[in-house]
Amino acid sequence: MAATVEISAREAEVLALVGQHLSNAEIGARLFISVRTVESHVSSLLRKLDVADRRALAQRASELATDRSHPAPVLPTPLTSFIGRSQELAELTEMIKSHRQVTAVGPGGVGKTRLALAVAAQADGDYPDGVWFVDLVPITDPGVLAGAVAGALGLGEQPGRGLDQTVFAALADRHALLVLDNCEHIRDGLAPFLERLLATCPRLTVLTTSRARLMVPFERVYSVPPMSLAGEGESDAVALFIDRASELHWPPDPVMRDHIASVCERLDGVALAIELAAARFPTLGLDGLTAGLSDQLRMLTGGPRADDRHRSVRAALDWSLALLEPTDRALLRQMSVFVTTFTIAAAAVVTRSETGVVADGLARLAEQSLLVVTASPNGTEYRALETIRQYGTERLAEADELADARSRHLRWCLATAADLAVVRADWRARFDAVADDLRAALTWAADRPQHRADAYRLARHLAELTFTRNLIGESQQRYEQAAALADDPAATASMLRHAAAAAGCRVRGDDMYRNYRAAADAAHRSGDTDGAASDLATAATNAYRFWSKFERLPPQAEVIALVAEARELAGDDAAAQAAVALAEAGVLTDAFGAAQGPPENAVPETIARAERAVALAHRTGDPLAESAALDALTGAQSWAGDTLATAVTTRRRIALLSSTPDTPASRHELIDALGGATEASLGAGDLPAARRWARQLADHPSLAEVGDRATSWLLVADALAGNVDEVLAGSVRFLEAWQRAGSPARSVLGPAVAGVGMIHSLRDDHEARREWNAVLDRLGPPPGYVYGYGAVFDGLLMLHHGRAGEALERMAPEPGEVWKWVTWIWLHWYVVLRTEAAVLAGTVDARDRLAEARTVVAGNPLAGAIVQRAEALLDDDRERLLATVDFFDSAGCPYQAARTMVLAGGEHAVRGAAAFADLGLAPMAQARRR
């Protein structure tokens, strides 16, 4: 049977070790392969040899064992398993097949030796005359190099012949592989020895490992990368950490794996650093390791080891530093001020050296694997691994050079930030490349009084840059930091206003309110009472305008007091007067909606105040102030039930803001205007426009932190239109964002959640409806659910199921009785659905309701078509009823088009049922009109 079974050389090795009753882990360690690879070979052998279990396989091992025709490899036995590196193993193995001298190059601790050993063990079958390993760490004199190789080969001195000649003679006709490990400290003496060796021994291949390439013409270099940090499944870095951590014998849960991955990433994937960190896991835990990463040199130490260089990361770096010339040591420590990649030009600025001199020095450091070199569109870039950077910083401090180097780095960061202020095509990539350096320089300078002015400038630059980069949370933080660093209270006030606007973009009303109040205090200190009045008035207005962005609304009395104080401070300044007028139009009239209905003359007074605020704002020539005043006017118009005027005003806001420069304040105002335009378009029956504005909101990068709010009105528009696929897809994004934010109880999300729930009910997906009802319950008692959007969505659903009487009961209150909840978006929807329910329920006043509804929704094409359809039903006028189908299709409302066909009955009902099926909705019940 042995003759018929084809077993590879590697399988034969595994089989022999199974016969010795070694475990898979022991076999992997012996052969320098992973446990997974061993498992694969064992499974293959079980299948090939047709045996049932491992015991039977061990029994067969003696029968099929083969006598190797060449010497066993002379390699040191590792004490730990070889993890990952499948790609590197394959690449380096292929390279030594094609080239006679290959150098595996990389920084200390990256894993060069282990990779070389694994390659040598795997390639053993390709070298019939043997594989030999020589550790050159103990060799300090190149003159004894031949003696070290001779010792590894088992050769002694021969009379009349030097050891080098003995080595050359012994290997002259051998097809063998020689591994020379750790060559960096004797590379000048090694190069001539290798040249003679390879010339004398034509069938010999030499694999060397070194922190620096040997710089000989016959050398081929393989750069050993850090352990992989990403990829399909578990990364090599995480697998190494888990294998080396003595208390991680079980598969960690996903959260722990993510934490481990983060630790490995902070360690740059350096194998030695990961192993040392894993060894500290039992005593520090992951939290302790993460905290210790800020001082890796202190944390990454181990017990006594045979190789002192691997006792700690510091020891490994001490070894590398000892190989450098003094000028290169100085350059390495000065480069430690750079947090990320840097160019030759940047290094020249920080070192105050000539570009050519710096370029030569950086090249030598890169050759010693102390800097990582990458090519970019902007030229060659360099980077120090984090452990090397921390090591260099220590050396800077020891040399008393740290403050000067940091100061020069700060000046470079200021110049770079100023240059980035000019946005060009490659702006994003350029900013990302230096952002961490700007942050680090600011952190250092902010704590030093002598650099306070520079720190203020850099904080202001970074605030503007991060805002442009759509890092809005950081932008707010940097504006607040700049405000704290500013020596001039006027500058403080300016920075705080920007911070408030950025907070508004993030839907952080409390921060917005706090920063405007702080800006008022700073303006007052600077003597700018008009500015203080504007800030106080704006803080009060925002508590009214953006109430849904607050976690905790300020007390009503406090806000009213702000308006009064602002009125006293405001002089003849037009901007201050406009801000106060806006606060009066909003805060004093609305009083946070405390009244249950508008008192006598409240609506005309509200409109009058809003129009005055608009007029005053227009005089200032400030489009942002005018937009805010127009927002107050839309609120007054919606109170008055003038839905169409409201829509016109919101479009006026959009036009006004379309050409304003992109600042935190203008972006915040535009986001609010887009929301207002969406809502007003929904109320006015313009669903295409509503979807257009809502899509801009959903895709706005500033709302990335609040994806639930960003997508909410798009969900409402699609639910009212009957765009089922869009609702289902958008609801997934909405729910993920809401859960990611901690499932906050935001009543403003109620319409979206209710709309999604209605769509699931229309699909007869009751389980999904229950899930979304649970979300609605989590939002708390939404103020508009009973008589506002809740009545509209419930009414649509009840009418779909043919329960017109129930729908009429659900919307029983007259619009004037529930005016607060049905203004703005829902008034026309509430009126027409209530009217259609009355027609289908056969109420005696159905025709009167039709006449009233026609008056209320005049100018709203979508609502008008629903009224026309209801009247056609009442008159049994099928032709007029069907005339609305084309309109509903063109108006972007496929649900109402399908509903109309079903209501028409006969063959039209069949078409309508098919349309509902195409939408993914359950069949509509045909109501019997009484």
Rounded CA separation 86/101 (Å)? 21
Q: Taking 70 as the threshold, does the pLDDT of residue 791 lie above it?
A: yes
CA atoms in the 13 A half-sphere facing the CB of 36: 9
Mention every residue, 6+ apart, whose C-beta is less than 8 A from residue 646: 634, 637, 638, 680, 683, 684, 824
Rounded CA separation 46/60 (Å)? 10
Residues in the chain: 930
Rounded CA separation 531/537 (Å)? 10
Rounded CA separation 910/603 (Å)? 48
Amino acid at 799: L
| pLDDT tens-digit readout, 618-677 | 999 999 999 999 999 998 898 888 999 999 999 999 999 998 999 999 999 999 999 999
Q: How confident is the model at residue 598 (pLDDT cuts 50, 70, 90)?
A: very low
Any idea which of 61-75, 492-506, 590-604, 895-909 has the lowest mean pLDDT?
590-604
Rounded CA separation 751/112 (Å)? 60
In this prediction, residue 5 carries a pLDDT of: 64
| pLDDT tens-digit readout, 829-845 | 999 999 999 999 999 99
Rounded CA separation 138/133 (Å)? 14
Q: How confident is the model at residue 463 (pLDDT cuts 50, 70, 90)?
A: very high
Given a contact cutoff of 8 angstroms between Cβ atoms, the answer to whether 184 and 321 are in contact is no
Cα–Cα distances in angstroms (integers) from residue 633 to residues 443, 577, 582, 605, in the given order: 45, 17, 10, 11
Task: Reduce the DSSP state of residue 595 to 3 states and report it.
Answer: coil
Cα 704 from chain centre? 10
Which residues on neighbouring strands pair with residue 372, listed in sequence order? Answer: 383
Given a contact cutoff of 8 angstroms between Cβ atoms, the answer to whether 182 and 308 are in contact is no
Dmax (CA) of the chain: 128
In this prediction, residue 869 carries a pLDDT of: 97
Rounded CA separation 75/63 (Å)? 27
Q: Is the dihedral of CA 256, 257, 262, 266 positive or negative?
A: positive
Task: Reduce the DSSP state of residue 655 to 3 states and report it.
Answer: helix
Mention every residue, 6+ apart, whose C-beta is less than 8 A from residue 391: 297, 313, 314, 317, 321, 336
Q: Taking 80 as the threshold, does the pLDDT of residue 156 lie above it?
A: no
Whether this prediction's pTM lies above 0.95 is answered by no
Rounded CA separation 270/263 (Å)? 11
Count of CB atoms situated within 10 Å of the CB of 217: 6
Q: Which range has highest mean pLDDT (117-131, 252-266, 517-531, 547-561)?
A: 517-531
Task: Reduce the DSSP state of residue 225 to 3 states and report it.
Answer: coil
Cα–Cα distances in angstroms (integers) from residue 411 to residues 408, 444, 649, in the given order: 5, 12, 49
Return the residue matching tokens 């150098």.
Answer: 103
Average pLDDT in the chain: 87
Mention every residue, 6+ apart, whose C-beta is less than 8 A from residue 828: 643, 683, 684, 685, 856, 857, 860, 863
Task: Reduce the DSSP state of residue 208 to 3 states and report it.
Answer: strand
